[in-house]
Amino acid sequence: MSFPVLPVALLAAFHAYIGTRLLGALPAPWVWVGAGLLAGLFVLVLSAASPILGRRSATGVLAWAGLIAMGFFSTLLVLTFVRDAGLLAWGGWILATSGAPIPASALQASALAVPALAGVASLLGLLNARRRPGVRRVDVPIADLPPALEGFTLVQISDLHVGPTIRKGFVDRVVDAANALDADVMALTGDLVDGRVPELSEHTAPLGRLQARHGVFAVTGNHEYYSGAPAWVAELRRLGITVLMNEHLLLKHGAGRLLLAGVTDFGAHHFDEQQRSDPARALHGASDEAHAKVLLAHQPRSATAAAEAGFDLQLSGHTHGGQFLPWNLFVPLQQPFVAGLHRLGLLWVYVSRGTGYWGPPKRLGAPSEITRLRLVRA
């Protein structure tokens, strides 16, 4: 595999930009200290980016350090841009009014404020990411819902991302919280893992403790395909979890009938054409008994096909609600919905902000969640 020169060069350029814009405003002795710290940051971020660059990922303390550094770097870069925009506006005002130049003290103070604010944001983001996800309760109105299905509950876990920094202890806490919700259906909507089965099976084992009245069901996300989807499907099934791959089953709940379907990830065909995501195919052979039709689909952009197929509700994840700035600005460019409950024609779409996190252990403005969805009569 060839060395990814362009991404590394771009990463180095961003670090050089930060150094150029911030270090020049500091007193001479601190310039060298800052340069050394920035070089160390570059090394750590590069180690954290290794899987993205096609290299073997770091583990243990180095993984933690690299991923925290990556989150800090993201915020540091954004705040450096913000500082420059502010200075540019200030300079324009000075030119327009023939005012005094920007004081050196203001340049120095703002240069020190940028890493300080990035550090505070990263610490808050770390605390938010590592706490046990809160429970979000959502009522979904379904037309002509029979009394037997009134109050039917689905508990959703999505984007857990068991991997370098999310391990067995975190998963145990999630499982305990989800089981306490007394679900009729437990739904795992993809991206459960970031790594291979031999590396992570010990840490995903608690998922085998999940319980719900009608069972525990899962669909694949894009990260399952990055991590060896066939092996993970087999492992989840070994844990007693039903993996729905463009298929459905009919759940009998008293006199009510709920059709539960699941599709493979929206991009699964890039890995295996036979697993192309297809909501219509997931309904093949469905009976007319169902009073409500629910689809598990990792990515919100499955919604158009789900609406055309006649589903009442789609549960998705993938977006993490943006997780933290600046990534929340890019999610709407790819997905029709970022978080929460939305309507597309006759279809309700619920998008979880995710139960874990991907990459940096950092969440700002997009808290993690375990979702308890309750069907109610419209």
Q: What's the pLDDT score for residue 1?
A: 44
CA atoms in the 13 A half-sphere facing the CB of 42: 19
Mean pLDDT of 83-104: 92
* Entry pTM: 0.93
Q: How confident is the model at residue 30 (pLDDT cuts 50, 70, 90)?
A: confident
With a cut of 90, say whether residue 100 has pLDDT above it: no
With a cut of 90, say whether residue 61 has pLDDT above it: no
Q: Quote the CA–CA distance of 207 and 114 in Å, as a whole number.
A: 41
- The domains of the chain are located at 5-129, 133-377
How big is the chain, counted in residues? 378
CB 53 within 8 A of CB 7: yes
Higher pLDDT, 61 or 267: 267
Q: What's the pLDDT score for residue 10?
A: 92
Q: Quote the CA–CA distance of 285 and 283 in Å, as a whole number.
A: 6
What is the SS3 string spanning 307-360? Answer: HHHCCCEEEECCCHHHCCCCHHHCHHHHCCCCCEEEEECCEEEEECCCCCCCCC
Mean pLDDT of 282-307: 96
Q: What's the pLDDT score for residue 29?
A: 80
Strand pairing report for 247-253 and 256-262:
antiparallel
With a cut of 90, say whether residue 135 has pLDDT above it: yes
Tally of CB atoms within 10 A around 144: 9
CB 318 within 8 A of CB 336: no
CATH for the stretch 133-377:
3.60.21.10
Q: Using one digit for the tens of pLDDT, what is the confidence trace for 317-329?
A: 999 999 998 888 8
With a cut of 90, say whether residue 93 has pLDDT above it: yes
With a cut of 80, say whether residue 15 has pLDDT above it: yes
With a cut of 60, say whether residue 157 has pLDDT above it: yes
CB 360 within 8 A of CB 124: no
DSSP readout, 63-96?
HHHHHHHHHHHHHHHHHHHHHHHHHHHHHHHHHH
Structure tokens at 122: 């990263």
Structure tokens at 77: 């870069």
Assess whether the previous peptide bond of 326 is cis (omega < 30° from 0).
yes
